[in-house]
Chain A
């Protein structure tokens, strides 16, 4: 029998969630106060979950490695958040959002989870507005929407290019309100290093106080990992510098299955790499594709300036290849198309690894509309462009400034140069419908889990998922487990050595603490010659080249061997200076890179196993004649959930994906 039980409720897709939600056992308010929940992570998923659970009466502790929960990586999300509000009256509905997400994910996501996501999406917008999140508005005072890739309706809500910031500050304010009322204890500048299990059940975590270096034991009846994605395994990505896989990886090594690690998202519109010194890549939001057109010169190795290339000598390759969706095809499709043009020799800029994202057309269009609004007759081209630039500035000002800061070029005057970069990870800890991992009492929310985006995530859906999980899913589904905990607690009430009495005095906590302390000392005692950073860079390069936008069997086999060798070298030659009992960012990073190396190997193994192309996973051996991804639904319509068995050893478990409501089909955006 499969070790995986997805616990998808019975019933029609439209009713599964509502029926299930009303049948979950409740925990009475008095009991809630004696139940402790540890929330690791304060991004959209963690902050929303922590606030909501505290409001409900649970005792909550929140952990984050930054100096404030408000700085979680979610803060950097730019473009927007989807919701099936249909405020634009353009034919949107719960079903359409559900359908778009399943199709966008290339038919590799779980129907029931995605439908639930689409259902609760509308409540998220209501909640955020009630918190005072200043989402963009129209002149009539109503909320404004924009379009994102992979859809033909306008369902994306936004706050200029700072949507993540505004949504996170909303969730953070709800979190801080509970901190202020004493319902949440905040442990900032803390890093979770392991989970603690007793008889296979999660009972708490080990965390390091990053300022003092003190190793701490924390007891919890349930632990929620809201620790984000693992894109930084590539070294260069659009993720924040601190984003890492450690929490999920340590949980994986304690029994949580890791699902679809090879599903990574390469975002088509990022600022290209400029040199070896580069520490991260910067996204130029997908919303720009609303108003920008992507092109390369028709002539190979064209060295003319973009503005000197006449219209008829430009190849708007997305519009050419995908007339129905044009510049708004999903990310995986757009990224591969850019790579194809650059590999074929049509790339632009110094490195030739870039394409143009051009705003001139829409600037002119906006300018004309403005001129009419302002009653300017026969405006000159210059007047039109000035008016248009003001509109563009209002929509994307912060992004344009960011671009100019980094490249020294003015995108109002010349097209942006962009190239795909690692952005998001669809893979993550395997969870059931309740968001519980394969370890009892351990949950994963937000980007840390695998559940909703299949093999490719649509733009503006991660913010939606993080907040759906935190505000509207976990507050219900956690009750399934915690109500059983209440029963157990009352049965063990008179037991002198019950876990509820011992809490962190249980010997399992001491063992776990010692393990992690030893690990830290191990890093410090290697006293090798190479910096942690240098290992991270080398790992990133292997994975980007061989498990990036295109993968093939030989490359993956080579990568696995190289990563194994890198791991050995790391453990014998890494140099970590300073001590364990102080603020030591280099030591923190050593632990994160050690985990990334192990994850990297699993990613390659997963990519090797998946003998098909789907979404962000493109195996060169499996493509159509036009170079599109070719799925194999007969053999690979499953979630690959990997069970850790020891160094370099994993066992594959499969969760079959059943499509009962959406007909599985070849994805077409033509």
Chain B
């Protein structure tokens, strides 16, 4: 797969267009020629948008900001996969060298009832913020902290917590799941804090509140298909879901 330096691609794009949350959407087809393989997927969209504007047509709306795979804002569903064909990368980090000339690429927004489409390829993921607000924190007001080195944390625990904390809140896990479950996202935060000594005091309460909020937001149930883990750009592991289920058991049956 892929193409070498300096090459150029001719592509057909089928892109989802939807005026706003209430409107019904449909696919629009565009031809692009001379796309450099060194471009990122979003730079290819920049080229397309410039072309549309020059033709007097409205640009395609899509979310993005850092373009470095860390803010979690970009969110395109490409050829049936969140963030496209390459594993472990976000849409903004996907480069055109992952495609061949003549390819048809289908681009859609995340599809989930809990993530309504805002416009074209942009969706509303504020449900994630509300889940964090329900309990995804340690209650410590500014100024209340003890010296940082008074809390010793074994490196392996710190590393494991860091692994879970690497979640960028992009929502690809939800988009990948046939049930629109948010378990991977929620369990990553629950795990991070459950693994750290600082997180112990609120451990039980936290998982209960976060799961309740998750359900209220309309995310589906987890049926262990593992699609979320496979599509997560940050390698958040299914073990987190198992840990959260244990946390939940522990909290429910006291």
Contact = CB atoms under 8 A, between A and B. Distances in A.
Contact of B38 (A76, A87, A143, A277): A277
B44 to A, nearest CB: 8
A52 B142 contact: yes
A130 B68 contact: no
B43 A279 contact: yes
B225 interface: no
A129 B125 contact: no
A172 interface: yes
Nearest to B129: A68
Contacts of B141: 52, 55
Contacts of B43: 277-279
A475 B142 CA distance: 10
Given A73-B66, A75-B71, A278-B43, A583 B198 contact: no
A87 B150 CA distance: 12
Contacts of B64: 241
A162 B193 CA distance: 18
Nearest to A48: B142
A177 B139 contact: yes
A278 B126 CA distance: 30
A66 B38 CA distance: 27
A491 interface: no
Contacts of B40: 279, 406
B130 to A, nearest CB: 8
A25 interface: no
B89 to A, nearest CB: 6
A211 B46 contact: no
A156 B155 CA distance: 18
Interface of chain B, main secondary structure? loop
Given A277-B39, A405-B93, A137 B158 contact: yes
B249 interface: no
B193 A132 contact: yes
Interface string B38-69: 11101100110110011011110101111111
Contact of A136 (B73, B144, B158): B158
B38 A55 contact: no
Interface residues of A, number: 80
Interface string B130-144: 001111111111111
Contacts of A141: 152-155, 158
B197 to A, nearest CB: 9
A91 interface: no
Interface in A613-656: none
Contacts of A132: 137-138, 161, 192-193, 196, 198-199
Interface in B149-193: 149, 151-155, 158-159, 161-162, 165-166, 168-169, 192-193
B205 interface: no
B165 A166 contact: yes
A94 interface: no
Interface stretch (A120-128, A192-200, A368-376, A480-488): A120-128
B17 interface: no
B148 A577 contact: no
A282 B93 CA distance: 11
27 contacts: A67-B63, A68-B128, A71-B169, A129-B148, A129-B151, A130-B145, A131-B138, A136-B158, A160-B162, A162-B70, A162-B166, A174-B142, A176-B132, A177-B139, A275-B38, A277-B36, A279-B46, A280-B67, A405-B95, A472-B142, A533-B46, A577-B58, A577-B59, A582-B19, A582-B20, A583-B119, A585-B59
Interface of B: 5, 19-20, 36, 38-40, 42-43, 46-47, 49-50, 53-54, 56-59, 61, 63-73, 88-89, 93, 95, 97, 118-119, 122, 124-126, 128-129, 132-149, 151-155, 158-159, 161-162, 165-166, 168-169, 192-193, 196, 198-199
Given A134-B162, A141-B152, A585-B59, 12 more contacts: A51-B142, A126-B145, A129-B145, A131-B198, A141-B158, A165-B70, A240-B67, A274-B38, A277-B38, A582-B119, A583-B61, A586-B59
